[in-house]
Structure 1
Amino acid sequence: MSHSLRYEVNCSILFTELPLLERPDAARRAGFDAVEFWWPFAEAVPGDKEVDAFVAAIDNSGAELVGLNFAAGDMPGGDRGLVSWPVRSTEFRDNVAVTLGIGERLGCRMFNALYGNRVDDASAARQDEVGAANLAVAASAAARIGGTVLVEPVSGASRYPLRSAADAVAVIDRVRADSGVGNIRLLADLYHLACNGDDVDKVIADHVARIGHVQIADDPGRGAPGSGELPLGRWLTDLEAGGYRGWVGLEYRAAGAAADSFDWIPRERRTARA
């Protein structure tokens, strides 16, 4: 891949052969300077000891935390976020303080707010109203630490309403119009966009200035780049040409041990200091 963007590891999907708190150190040993996580706790508001242990694992590894998801419910069970889920709105807002507290302690400034599936006990319009209000709360809180809230289109979840970049941008535009917050941006997961049939070349051309973070995996299979058919190198080169200067999160599934799944990445692309 001919671009010069830097890669970091999503330790919620890679290094899963290790206990969660050992994964940042494993990423550092593989040469990476930065990591990201989905919400790493079972509860939206975990105990202080759990939070302290997570923060210590990042600190002790020497890796930088560059991305963290807000609590998203039971992901293995099919949940995809609390943002637009009316009966869990208070839970989401309680989680915002914990998430941003971790971010403040570790210097993380990118926070992914999974929007949530459609539910049977609320209309789509009601969910979108709740979603916009909760995103505004999260973005306003994040602004106090210089943070950005991300909104992500997702594949593989039939009731998740944000499938295209345009879907996510429409939500972002609503939040900005309703509340005036400016620190809310698109998370462009090139794998999810491609799986959903979005025109990724057009997404990059139309929205690169609004992209706050990028994630990649190949398709089919959600494996490492080169294991499938997506033109990830071209897309990343185009993102960089369009002005994107952020990290590229590796959010793929390793075929074996994660440490063996990075041969395609030159060592200098794994560090912020190259």
Structure 2
Amino acid sequence: MPRFTANVSLLFSEVPLLERFALARAAGFEAVECWWPFATHQPSLAQVGAFVDALDAAEVRLTGLNLFAGDMPAGERGIVSHPDRTGELRENLDVVRTLVEATGCDRVNALYGQRLPGIPAHVQDDLAARNLRLAADTLATAGVTVLVEPLTSGENGDYPVRTLDEALAVAARAGDGVAVLFDAYHLHNNGSDVVADIARHIDAVGHVQVADSPGRGEPGSGTIDFDAFFRALDAAGYAGWVGCEYRPTAPTTETLDWLPRPAGSGR
């Protein structure tokens, strides 16, 4: 039975971010994950300390974290393929290394970045491969796997990693320590048979996230067959966490009835 981790960038958004860890714990989650939790790529030591202290106070594990991805509210979706932002990436990786060493987090998602006008696609792809390799090498001593995530077409600008095959190719080119983030919502939206594909490609999957489609609500609010999906995960022997990365259709605690409740383990 999969273990579930709460993505607090979307869940429990009724309260400020650092208060969401305690709400997740009260709801039965032993672990949380999140997008980059700071406004800049290089937050202050006090901000980093407050984040770690809030996790400790809530007694939850941090199981996943995004690299700084640019201005997400303005529509940016990552910087690893952007030639003018490698300096930001390097500085951000120093902060991420501090965070993963302090928390034990072992999955870091590196959003690829959108296509830039006037820059050939192969130039961006070559840079992305080098920067993903840099991220994997920088975080390797902390036991971190770096993730490549396909995103839904039409919702994320000119983001070039949309299919499972595209993500597999990016991860393979970057090399050891880089794997695919299998987000059932995004992949389903882009035409994947998520039940069949998780079974076929489980060896290349470093993390799994779930939300239903359409709408990105909790499982059961859309059309994805999550009973079959979770059975496929079990049959494939997936032993990692499953991130609940959905937009609740009601207050978060009212949207958790879909969660399986295995005895003796976390959500």
Interval containing the TM-score (normalised by the shorter chain):
over 0.9
Q: What's the counterpart of residue 15 of structure 1?
A: 12
Which of 205, 210, 234 is the aligned partner of 1:240? 234
Q: Secondary structure at the match of 1:150?
A: strand
Q: What's the counterpart of residue 184 of structure 1?
A: 178
Q: Which runs of no fewer than 5 residues in structure 1 stay unpaired? A: 177-181
- Please tell me whether the aligned partners of residues 78 and 157 of structure 1 are also in contact (alpha carbons under 8 angstroms): yes
Q: How many residue pairs are counted as aligned between the two chains?
A: 265
How far off is 1:236 after superposition? 2.0
The separation in 1 between residues aligned to 2:55 and 2:264, in whole angstroms, is 17
Superposition map of 1:143-182 within 5 A: 143-155=140-152, 156-176=155-175, 182=176
Q: What's the counterpart of residue 43 of structure 1?
A: 40
The separation in 1 between residues aligned to 2:195 and 2:80, in whole angstroms, is 28
Q: Secondary structure at the match of 1:7?
A: strand
Give the residue type in structure 1 aligned to 2:169.
A
- Please tell me whether the aligned partners of residues 109 and 145 of structure 1 are also in contact (alpha carbons under 8 angstroms): yes
The separation in 2 between residues aligned to 1:62 and 1:192, in whole angstroms, is 30
The separation in 2 between residues aligned to 1:135 and 1:42, in whole angstroms, is 22
Stretch moving more, 120-129 or 44-53: 120-129
Give the residue type in structure 2 aligned to 1:264.
W
Cα 1:270/1:70, change in 2 over 3 Å: farther
Which of 185, 209, 218 is the aligned partner of 1:215? 209
Percent of residue pairs identical: 47
How far off is 1:271 after superposition? 4.0
Give the residue type in structure 2 aligned to 1:69.
N
Q: Output one character per residue of 1:35-89: Cα deviation in whole Å (capped at 9) or x when no partner.
A: 0000000000111111100111111100000000000011111111011111111
The separation in 1 between residues aligned to 2:11 and 2:105, in whole angstroms, is 19
RMSD: 1.5
Q: Secondary structure at the match of 1:159?
A: coil
Which of 114, 131, 135 is the aligned partner of 1:134? 131
- Please tell me whether the aligned partners of residues 5 and 269 of structure 1 are also in contact (alpha carbons under 8 angstroms): no
Cα 1:264/1:63, change in 2 over 3 Å: same
How far off is 1:240 after superposition? 2.0
Q: What's the counterpart of residue 79 of structure 2?
A: 82
Cα 1:122/1:269, change in 2 over 3 Å: farther
